[in-house]
């Protein structure tokens, strides 16, 4: 960690403290969720089919605060907006308490990235709380995504509440022989009168049974909402909400890809600095960075840093550097990234997915990363 990072207040601050100092509702929610679950683990769910993805999210969900997806890798992805794969992931996210991060790495001109984000078959903005951008096109692309998210947010700011009431006026006037006046019933059904008029009609007609007409009243109101309501289109058994915290807010968040863990990448210091500047210019949308350590350097910075390229040595081994994968990926340990470099969330994929017991291995990563965070902030582990 460089000297400026050592001095920055966010390195030693707790997630609870940082939650109160951000104006971004989703960032605040994520900070509080991490403290509640005692987890700063993101699972990179790079699997090849939708059934496996949903099963993995359900199994590992209790250990994570973020699920990172690549929807275009998933065979059998159901694009239905209400009952498809994105909606089902949303139900699991509510159930287990995690956010969905679609690792789309937008990297085109502003108009194009807006359409990629909000339109097409995937409609990423509808189900992914967080996305990221490769800022090669320049700062304008960040602004374009921010505008798209703001427009989308304004459209979902209200929910429609529909109330239906059914009333049946009751009359105690009947014919002596109990027969209904068919003509009166037919007229009442075709042209229902106000209740008072119907009662008056039945009370002033001699020798006829009063018309029994159901009155249906439909009312609608628009209610402002800060977070999504639980969907009614998913099976009832999936409608659980993680205890201890409200549902995530409607606001969406962006991560800027500022640094990479792959060997020989072309991300220069000038590029990383431009990423920091773009984040500060769009604080109402950008929540942080994908980077190899904290990039908070200005006094008002409170961005979340998420770092991939994490792997643990076998159980019982010392916390030491791990060899790469032979394809350019370089690995490091949670202690070095969270404790030394100041990262907030570790992103782990193959280290968990290829383990003999993925659920247990996810818990091992969660415990190690959380221990590093507690040590960094001077809390008891």
Tell me whether residue 46 is annotated as binding. yes
Collapsing DSSP to helix, strand or coil, 346 comes out as strand
pLDDT, position 266: 87
Residues 6+ away with beta carbon under 8 Å from 109: 137, 140, 141, 144
Question: In the 8-state DSSP scheme, what is residue 224?
Answer: E
Report how far residue 167's alpha carbon sits from residue 184's, in angstroms, rounded to the nearest whole number: 19
Report how far residue 65's alpha carbon sits from residue 343's, in angstroms, rounded to the nearest whole number: 15
Tokens of 89: 């992931």
Is 95 one of the annotated active-site residues of the chain? no
What are the beta bridge partners of residue 307? 346
Instruction: Calculate the alpha carbon distances from 350 to 56, 362, 368 in Å.
Output: 13, 11, 17
Question: In the 8-state DSSP scheme, what is residue 146?
Answer: H
pLDDT, position 185: 45
pLDDT, position 90: 97
Q: Are 46 and 72 in contact (CB under 8 A)?
A: no
Report how far residue 107's alpha carbon sits from residue 99's, in angstroms, rounded to the nearest whole number: 23
Report how far residue 169's alpha carbon sits from residue 194's, in angstroms, rounded to the nearest whole number: 10
Residue keyed to tokens 């991490």: 34
Q: Give the number of residues written for the chain.
A: 381
pLDDT, position 217: 62
Mind listing the pLDDT tens digit of every residue in the chain (381 residues)?
444 445 799 999 999 999 999 999 999 999 999 999 999 999 999 999 999 999 999 999 999 999 999 999 999 999 999 999 999 999 999 999 999 999 999 999 999 999 999 999 999 999 999 999 999 999 999 999 999 999 999 988 655 555 666 655 544 443 444 444 444 443 344 344 444 444 444 444 445 555 555 566 666 555 555 555 544 445 545 568 899 999 999 999 999 999 987 778 889 999 999 999 999 999 999 999 999 999 999 999 999 999 999 989 887 665 555 554 444 445 789 999 999 999 999 999 999 999 999 999 999 999 999 999 999 999 976
Is 284 one of the annotated active-site residues of the chain? no
Parallel, antiparallel, or unpaired: how do β-strands 304-307 and 286-290 relate? Answer: parallel
pLDDT, position 252: 98
pLDDT, position 135: 92
Tokens of 347: 């992103």
Is 108 one of the annotated active-site residues of the chain? yes
Burial call 97-134: b when 16+ CB within 10 Å, e when fewer: bbbbbbbbebbbebeebbebbbeeebbbbbbbbbbbbb
Q: Are 218 and 162 in contact (CB under 8 A)?
A: yes
CA 173 to chain centre: 60
**Which one of 37, 95, 103, 209 is the catalytic residue?**
103
Tell me whether residue 325 is annotated as binding. no
pLDDT, position 315: 76
Tokens of 380: 């008891």
**Which one of 21, 105, 139, 283 is the catalytic residue?**
105
Tally of CB atoms within 10 A around 262: 14
Sign of CA dihedral 58, 70, 304, 361: positive
pLDDT, position 323: 52
Tell me whether residue 350 is annotated as binding. yes
Q: Are 309 and 350 in contact (CB under 8 A)?
A: no
Report how far residue 294's alpha carbon sits from residue 248's, in angstroms, rounded to the nearest whole number: 24
**Which one of 108, 126, 319, 340 is the catalytic residue?**
108
115 phi and psi, to 5 degrees?
-70, -40
Tokens of 160: 């429609």
Tell me whether residue 329 is annotated as binding. yes
pLDDT, position 216: 62
Domains of the chain: 3-156+230-376 (3.20.20.70), 161-224 (no CATH)
pTM of the full structure: 0.78
């Amino acid at each position: 960690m460089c000297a400026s990072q050592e001095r920055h207040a966010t390195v030693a601050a707790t997630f609870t403290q940082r939650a109160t100092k951000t104006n971004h509702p989703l960032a605040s929610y994520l900070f509080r969720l991490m403290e509640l679950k005692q987890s700063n683990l993101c699972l990179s769910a790079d699997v090849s089919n939708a059934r496996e993805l949903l099963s993995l999210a359900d199994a590992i969900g209790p250990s994570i605060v973020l699920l990172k997806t690549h929807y275009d890798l998933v065979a059998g992805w159901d694009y239905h907006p209400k009952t498809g794969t994105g909606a089902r992931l949303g139900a699991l996210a509510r159930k287990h308490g995690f956010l969905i991060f679609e690792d789309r790495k937008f990297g085109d001109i502003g108009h194009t990235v807006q359409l990629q984000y909000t339109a097409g078959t995937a409609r990423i903005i509808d189900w992914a709380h967080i996305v990221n951008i490769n800022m090669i096109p320049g700062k304008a692309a960040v602004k374009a995504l921010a505008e798209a998210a703001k427009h989308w947010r304004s459209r979902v700011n209200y929910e429609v509440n529909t109330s239906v009431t059914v009333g049946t006026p009751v009359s105690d006037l009947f014919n002596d022989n109990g027969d209904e006046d068919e003509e009166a019933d037919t007229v009442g059904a075709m042209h229902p009168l106000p209740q008072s008029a119907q009662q008056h009609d039945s009370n002033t007609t001699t020798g006829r049974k009063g018309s029994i007409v159901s009155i249906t009243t439909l009312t609608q109101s628009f209610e402002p909402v800060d977070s999504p309501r639980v969907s009614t289109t998913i099976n009832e058994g999936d409608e659980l909400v993680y205890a201890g915290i409200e549902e995530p807010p409607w606001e969406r968040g962006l991560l800027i890809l500022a640094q990479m863990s792959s060997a020989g990448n072309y991300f220069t210091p000038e590029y990383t600095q431009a990423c920091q500047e773009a984040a500060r210019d769009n604080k109402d949308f950008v929540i942080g960075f994908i980077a190899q350590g904290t990039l908070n350097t200005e006094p008002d910075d409170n961005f979340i840093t998420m770092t991939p390229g994490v792997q643990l040595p076998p159980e019982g081994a010392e916390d030491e550097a791990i060899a790469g994968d032979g394809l350019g990926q370089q690995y490091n340990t949670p202690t070095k990234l969270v404790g030394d470099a100041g990262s907030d969330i570790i992103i782990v994929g193959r280290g968990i997915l290829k383990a003999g017991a993925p659920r247990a291995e996810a818990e091992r990563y969660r415990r190690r990363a959380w221990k590093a965070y507690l040590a960094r902030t001077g809390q008891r582990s």
